[in-house]
Amino acid sequence: MLSEKIHAWALKCPERVAHRHGNDQLTYAALEFGSNSAALWLYELSLAKGITRQTPVVVYGHKENEMLVLFIGCIKVGHPYIPVDSSVPPERLRQIIKASGARVVLSPQLIPEGIAGTGVIIEEMMSLAGQDSLLNGDRLEVPPSTWQVTLDEVYYIIYTSGSTGVPKGVQLTLRALESFLNWVNSEYLPNEHEVFLNQAPFSFDLSVMDVYMSLSTGGTLWSVDKDQIANPKELFASLGASEISYWVSTPSFAEVCLMDPSFKATLLPQLKRFLFCGEILTHDCATKLTQRFPRATVENLYGPTEATVAVTTLTITPDILSAFNPLPVGRVKPDAMVLIMDADQLTAEIASGKGILPHRPEVLAEGKTGELIIAGPNVSVGYLNNPEQTAKAFFNWQECGVTWKAYRTGDAGLFKEGLLFYQGRLDFQIKLHGYRIELGEIEENLRRLPRVENAVVLPIERRGKIEYLQAFIVAGKPVRDEFKAVLDLKEALREHLPEYMIPRRFRFLEKMPMTSNGKVDRRALLGGLS
């Protein structure tokens, strides 16, 4: 199992670097000792405070070494961890703690004040900033392996944007993670001691790919943080010194790097593979990468957080580039299924079967577009403490005595010659610069503001890619100073939403245009912009 593998690397090569962030590095030995120490401390705390096994622990921070130590420490004593990036506003952190029922918050950083309070009971808030005794303690005991998260227990929980205005906690078991890892490790064959780029914050499921591919194969995780990403000179200096052999990022991040002509094989001479997931990999981006890095392969993976990072993959060869534009997302991993179904028919079938179908639902013929349904051991057990959203998105079916867990992605797609093609969304979820956003969540947060009567947020595209968000506001009272009103709205939103969810542009309307069936006419709103 995963933690045994990490333990084995600590025994085999204790001094090898498991994680590097700037000048800080964490060896496999330090990861092992630190996580044991954190696990024992957490075990004793749970015992003293009556915190039951599987109660999640929030781990708040950015790219610090301690984040990994705390993740592994939690799972060693049966607690799933919830990674929360420190770039989120305190109110969102509070919302996640409250919704998840977490009673312990651990962080290498200072934890924002005022997090505990109304509805949030926190037994322990441990900021490791300035005091590292917890992780570097002199305890040499090892927590028994029977305390660890077991295969069908929840291993991690990632919060994603929720259309009802509050984020949803996607729960993934160790079985799901193992299923993902066995597949990617056998597909991309990392040798012992590869260097993996970690670009995504740990609170995004893309990072699960680099973190666990690296830790399970004795690799080194090379983290770049948000300040480096915002500063190209620093970023390129870090990349140049990295010896990265496996690049894991969103395509958006690679596109930004490609704007610099020095982003080519001489910068990353050891590079073997680009692993992309999370949004459309454009033909143009893949072409440029194959030209600039002729010795590296480009892999397009597809999947949502709810199905443990990814379920399909394809190597983008010159043949694929000449045959397809847009690019396919590939073939499905062996232990999972991707089925194309008629969304309305499926909704009706699930409603009549109360979420459990006696047979595999009917799929559309090859070449027909429908909703992508993912089934298999990699599918989440549902949203934490959220039966309503879970029932909407997840269902089961029985087949030959086996129960298949299935997730409705809300993605449209089709199969052609065994290859899966992604064809956009069936709802109002979008990807902006690699971030998953439910437009409904921004709208809900806008509507809650006292001066907003109604709000609609739309993505503005250029050359097939979403460039920014535009909000349309019907204000309760006439707006005299629009400039100030926009600043106020943005500031109010920032209290609840991360920066990437704040619309760039705002327009005030007297009333929303409506369609004949009483819905907001989004097309008319977009038309009004041109």
Residue number, 32 or 411, with CB nearest to ligand AMP: 411
Residue number, 420 or 475, with CB nearest to ligand AMP: 420
Q: How far apart are CA 359 and CA 204, in angstroms?
A: 34
* Per CB under 6 A, 153 contacts ligand AMP: no
Q: How far apart are CA 432 and CA 446, in angstroms?
A: 19
* Per CB under 6 A, 283 contacts ligand AMP: no
Which stretch in 124-132, 271-279, 468-476, 507-515 sits in contact with ligand AMP by CB under 6 A? Answer: 271-279
Residue number, 73 or 377, with CB nearest to ligand AMP: 377
Sheet containing 168-173: which strands, arranged edge to edge?
124-127, 104-107, 57-61, 81-85, 154-160, 168-173
Per-residue buried b or exposed e for 71-94, using 16+ beta carbons within 10 Å of the residue's own CB: bbbbbbbbbbbbbbbbebbeebbb
Which stretch in 136-144, 188-196, 278-286, 495-503 sits in contact with ligand AMP by CB under 6 A? Answer: 278-286
* Per CB under 6 A, 329 contacts ligand AMP: yes
Residue number, 224 or 277, with CB nearest to ligand AMP: 277
SS3 509: strand
For Cα atoms 97, 102, 105, give the angle at the middle one, nearest 5 degrees: 80
Written as one string, the DSSP assignment of 307-356 is GSS-SEEEE--HHHHHH-SSPP-BEE-TT-EEEEE-HHHHHHHHHHHTTE
Among 32, 85, 194, 279, binds ligand AMP (CB under 6 A): 279
Total residues at interface with ligand AMP (CB under 6 A): 20
* Per CB under 6 A, 411 contacts ligand AMP: yes
Q: How far apart are CA 63 and CA 85, in angstroms?
A: 9
β-partners of residue 419 are 416
Residue number, 56 or 251, with CB nearest to ligand AMP: 251
Among 56, 61, 165, 304, binds ligand AMP (CB under 6 A): 304
Residue number, 31 or 414, with CB nearest to ligand AMP: 414
Strands 297-302 and 273-276: parallel
Token pair recorded at residue 525: 């709103």
* Per CB under 6 A, 300 contacts ligand AMP: yes
Question: Least separation, in Å, of the C-beta of 442 and ligand AMP?
Answer: 16
SS3 433: coil
Question: How far apart are the two ends of the chain, measured CA to CA in Å?
Answer: 56
Site for ligand AMP in 414-433 (CB under 6 A): 422, 425, 431
Question: Least separation, in Å, of the C-beta of 158 and ligand AMP?
Answer: 8
Question: Least separation, in Å, of the C-beta of 313 and ligand AMP?
Answer: 9
Q: Which residues bind ligand AMP (CB under 6 A)?
A: 160, 205, 277-281, 300-305, 329, 409, 411, 422, 425, 431, 436
